[in-house]
Amino acid sequence: MLRRDVQAVIESPDRRLHVAFQIIEWTSGLISHAPRIIDRDSGTILIDLWDSDWDAELCWLGNGCVRLDLQRIDRNEWCALVLDPQTQTYVLIDEGMDKTGRPRHRSGI
């Protein structure tokens, strides 16, 4: 690992969630963006993938939920989850397949 930084900080449209991405450069040109999602009102950490090899893309959904598309930076493993901050629960989707459609072993997040 070459470097770690927290560079990207995003707030949800309703300002309820605070998302900080830990940027990790594993090798030259191989970079991950690991998220930490915090409920601003309570300070509760809802999702914390810092210090991991998960790379994430984030999408705000119209109902206050957030979708994370996750991929292991050095493996062909991926999944997506939808986090509902109201209930502090998430649903794991697209789990169990790699991007080629082949079954893979389950990975905890």
User: 70: part of which helix (H) or strand (E)?
Assistant: strand 66-72
CB 39 within 8 A of CB 85: yes
Q: What is the C-alpha separation between 2 and 90, in angstroms, rounded? A: 32
Residues 6+ apart with CB under 8 A from 93: 79, 80, 81, 82
Distances from the Cα of 48 to the Cα of 23, 41, 67, 79, 102, angstroms? 13, 17, 14, 15, 27
Residue-range domain boundaries for the chain: 3-93
Q: What is the pTM of this model?
A: 0.77
The pLDDT profile of the chain, 109 residues, written as one tens digit per residue, is 566 676 778 999 999 999 999 988 888 778 889 999 999 999 999 999 998 889 999 999 988 899 999 998 877 788 899 999 888 888 888 655 555 554 444 433 3
